[in-house]
Amino acid sequence: MTDSTQWQTNVGSVWAEEWRRTDRSFADLAPHLEAAILDAAPGTGAVLDIGCGAGSTSLALAAARPTLSVTGIDLSPDLIAVATDRGAALPNARFQVADAADPPPPILGGAHDMAVSRHGVMFFADPVAAFTTLRELLKPGAPLIFSCFQAPERNPWASEIAEAAGGEPLDASGAAPGPFAFADPDHVADVLREAGWSDGHVRDVEYRYIAGEGADPVGDALSFLSRIGPAARALATLPEADRPAALARFHAVLERHRTGDAVTFPAAAWIWTARAGDAA
């Protein structure tokens, strides 16, 4: 589990340094999410990107729909700095350090016409409260589109690697925030309903998770997954004496998933759509 303070400091800094490889890992998922967003996007208005990270989803939408005003928010100042730099040429994109789980900061202005997120909504300590706050940022009937990971067993880039690295089984119960907190669609449907969202619909998307590429794809993948994700957390807690054996197991898993100049894993995500209900 990663708390908000870590996202604002060391975890956010690492993700900011790794944004290129993170975007690469989602490269096969991105077209599915972006198509869903464009299909629901209004012709004009304001869009909010929750947990925008380095800005990829915001920037894709802003470039595709110049008539929209897109605001990306994230807890990490380092990630927001990267997103701001990447979006310098897009006048309809802006980025702001903000917490979607807190009361809306004045900088976000009035009601928005849409909210989106690429894997940025699974880390709320109180998801019902956070999604209630998010709904209050939108106009009634405005769409919400977001993606999240399915169960760990459908994402072996996390489950196999974390096990090899000596980590605990990954929690997909929804009881605690984390990358797999929204793996159970029944749990997510309950969260959305309790938070005042309607017309919830989920789509199953299988994609290829790209962990490493290049002349040494295994080394690239080992470097990447040792810095972010479940394996990184598992390795960080291991006694130093246990690390060599864990890294050897980690390396063997990556070798099994190597094809030519790439290390890839099967992966699965949910893409959710819902609409903001009227204020209570």
Q: Which domains does the chain have, with CATH numbers?
A: 4-152+171-209+268-276 (3.40.50.150)
Alpha-helix residue ranges (DSSP H) falling in 95-194: 127-136, 156-164, 185-194
Q: What is the pTM (predicted TM-score) of this model?
A: 0.92
Q: Would you place residue 107 in the very low, low, confident or very high pLDDT band (cuts 50, 70, 90)?
A: low
List the one residue out of 240, 34, 31 whose CA is nearest residue 117.
34
Extract the tokens encoding 154: 């459908």
In the chain, the amino acid numbered 254 is: L
Nearest 5°: phi and psi at 36? -65, -40
Q: Per DSSP, what are the bridge partners of residue 274?
A: 144
At 2 the pLDDT is: 42
Extract the tokens encoding 68: 């929209």
Q: Would you place residue 96 in the very low, low, confident or very high pLDDT band (cuts 50, 70, 90)?
A: very high
pLDDT (tens digit per residue) in 181-205: 999 999 999 999 999 999 999 999 9
Alpha-helix residue ranges (DSSP H) falling in the chain: 4-8, 10-17, 19-25, 30-40, 56-64, 77-86, 127-136, 156-164, 185-194, 217-225, 230-237, 243-256
pLDDT (tens digit per residue) in 123-163: 998 999 999 999 989 999 999 999 999 999 999 999 998 88
Residue 35, C-beta contacts closer than 8 angstroms, at least 6 positions apart? none
